[in-house]
């Protein structure tokens, strides 16, 4: 557990950096990028606001994962990771990934049925597969956390 405690501080530093960069993307970069694309390609200007909304939503899902991870790190520091509270934060991560996945599948289907070039649908398929693996991995990790929590509770009851 000593190694885990040593990793908490640097992980928190990078979570703060990542969160800050994501806020910048959410507020400046993504809306600006899609506005620029609408000016450069007027034929696709109608996609400006849907694309902005979808990408900002995905960033929001990542931010939920970051906040939940921060809270889980607090539980690790306080040696309370094997509690019901931890399961709620892991559930938040699972639901954020699931929400992002649903929207990603919708985008994948829309692009897949309307694409002239296979490049973007293949990229979206790769992303969908990656998010699916991540989501299922989190479901498995949640099950392991549930088992460990139950075992720890049982051990404390015996002692």
| Cα 50 → chain centroid | 20
Q: pLDDT value at position 1?
A: 59
pLDDT value for 5: 72
Please give the Cα distance from 12 to 9 (Å, whole number): 5
List the structure tokens of 98.
């699931």
At 96 the pLDDT is 98
The angle, 0 to 180 degrees and rounded to 10, between the axes of the packed helices 48-77 and 30-40 is 160
| pLDDT for the residue numbered 103 | 98
d(CA 21, CA 3): 27
Angle at 155 between CA 149 and CA 159, to 5 degrees: 145
* 159 residues of the chain, pLDDT tens digit each: 567 778 899 999 999 999 999 999 999 999 999 999 999 999 989 999 999 999 999 999 999 999 999 999 999 999 899 999 999 999 999 999 999 999 999 999 999 999 999 999 999 999 999 999 999 999 999 999 999 999 888 888 887
Provide the pLDDT for residue 154: 81
User: How many C-alpha atoms does 34 have within 13 Å on its Cβ side?
Assistant: 19
* C-alpha span between 81 and 157 (Å, rounded): 17
Cα torsion at 142, 147, 151, 152 (round to 10°)? 0
Domain total of the chain: 1
Residue 59's domain spans which residues?
A: 1-157
User: What span, in angstroms and rounded, lies between the C-alpha atoms of 139 and 151?
Assistant: 18
């Amino acid at each position: 557990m000593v190694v885990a405690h040593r990793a908490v501080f640097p992980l928190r530093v990078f979570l703060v950096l990542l969160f800050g960069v994501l806020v910048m993307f959410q507020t400046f970069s993504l809306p600006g990028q899609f506005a620029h694309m609408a000016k450069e390609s007027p034929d696709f200007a109608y996609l400006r606001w849907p694309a902005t909304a979808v990408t900002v939503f995905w960033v929001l899902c990542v931010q939920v994962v970051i906040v939940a991870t921060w809270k889980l790190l607090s539980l690790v520091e306080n040696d309370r990771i094997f509690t019901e509270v931890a399961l709620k934060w892991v559930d938040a991560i699972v639901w954020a990934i699931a929400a992002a996945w649903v929207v990603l599948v919708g985008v994948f289907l829309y692009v897949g049925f309307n694409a002239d070039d296979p490049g973007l649908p293949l990229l979206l398929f790769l992303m969908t597969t990656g998010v699916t693996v991540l989501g299922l991995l989190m479901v498995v990790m949640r099950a392991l956390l549930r088992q460990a929590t139950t075992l720890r509770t049982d051990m404390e009851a015996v002692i």
